[in-house]
Structure 1
Amino acid sequence: VSTATVSAVINDSAYVSPELRARVLAAVRDLSYAPSLAARNLKRGRSQLIALVVADLANPFFSRVVWAAEAAVAAWGYSLLIFNSDEKPEVERRILARVRTLSCDGVILVPVGDSTEHLQNDPDGKPIPTVLFGRTVAGDRSDTVTIDNISAGRQATEYLLDLGHTRLGTVTGPLHVTTGRGRLDGMLAAMRSRGLTLESRYIRSGEFREDAAYSVARSLLEQPARPTALYVASGLMALGVMRAVADLGLRCPGDISIASTDTIPGIGGLRPRLTRTEHPLVDMTNEAVRLLVDQIRR
């Protein structure tokens, strides 16, 4: 029996006489044969693999993105490969080189550097279908799913200003990353609109991590004339800031008010409650996957 006949029977792609079909199926049962999905995808020129490269897998924000992405890619018939760049551009470059060797059909990337040149082409010189998530890169033309970070920073700051605060401080993310820079720019815009300025001594930037936020928040709040309100650029950083507030014996909101951008699992259970603007994370992830699949199937 030829391989073409076996393929026709297994895939039901051509007519095979009932007698011959029965013989092939009997042999398949005897040999416990199962079709190779990898070989089938290779023949199609696709791996059915999508890579997701997050900036910090230890951050609950990105863990939730992974959770949502796994469900979304499965609904489109793909499998997900998960990578963590740990907020390091050199690690991101190595990961994306690995993504190319694995022949992934596309990549959803949370960029950590200021360039995406290292992901533009696969070994055949063809552009790799790419969607940027959560952050943008200047000059990059990839599809991007993110929030308006300037607006997020502005809204949170306006909330604090509406409470009557005029001496504000901030704990924001790395300023080379658009989430950190954009949210700070939004805060500055809100204060300018009220005729206020943000003093440089009240600005702290650092990694989007709880311990980093704790350290810089302490240095900010231990000043003689500390700010009366803080805008914090992420939910995980807000946990560190609130821990610093408690360790310094301050009351929130009695001694200091805090507002933040984005959310992480469990943050809604904090007491006192944390005022925050939130990302529609699941919707954003679903849209990123949809955009990527659309690129892949063009």
Structure 2
Amino acid sequence: MTDHAGPGHDGSDAGLSAIISERRQLINLAYRLLGSLAEAEDVVQETYARWYAMSPQERDAIVSPGAWLTKVAGRVCLNVLSSARARRETYVGEWIPEPLPDPTEWTTGRPDGIGADPADRVTLDESVSMAFLVVLDAMTPAERVAFVLHDVFRYSFAEVAEIVGRTPAACRQLASSARRRIRDSRAAAAPASRQAGIVRDFKQAWEAQDINALIGLLDPGATGIADGGGLASALLRPIEGGEQIARYFAGLAARAPSLTLLERTVNGQPGLIAQQDGVTVSVFAFEVVDDRITRIWAVRNPDKLHPWTTG
């Protein structure tokens, strides 16, 4: 396999520094494959454990350490994706990919306010938008791995085949199938500046408990999905319909008047967070099409909010 300059890759290939420098590349790859930063970090740790389990002679014999690390991480991700399907069947409520903040707002939840290692931060682009990750999550593990490695990180199908364990031709078909899924599920999103304005209007209408204003911002066929990870107060099923979503959010504002809503970047797109006593308790991602909100993803599972927690 050859080295690739995907998100966060610095191209260094000399000694220990080269191995360490691959960490961000691996985190970026694993998060896109798994939709979970915690699982991505576990995959990277496992990948490095396998590297250091080899003898110095075995490591010296590897021509491209970066390519070797990527191959191992991809295979570990494939195994995690395969087992994740069984785990999701027992997950309480809906499962939503783990939301990520803008790098400038990234924290670790430590009371001393020290931020995360830059090597652990994910480069935010279209391939990590919530809408994109949700579509990826509906794919088969092999489709997802083949598509992300080829279309996002630009690996050849011959290289992808080494990871997926299929022929290059089969990997080409997997990526093509994944591409069709994405094309069929995506509508033309509004420009980021327009999205930000609509999300801001939604925030203000929510705070004012203005049902009519909320209805005007929501597509009649909009869907609201919440991931509470088993929290008793979390929705277990999606809310269908703009009016129903508007009434739910207006009621939520009435039931929780102490919530503070803040505009934030969520997976590279305009979003909102809700804080209680300065601690982020919910993160909201939006899909905006034709100046209307078509989907809202609300993540309340505390296990998925560590990069957002400030205390």
Larger fraction in helix: 2
Query: Higher relative contact order at CA 8 Å, sep ≥6: structure 1 or structure 2?
Result: 2
- Which structure: larger Rg? 1
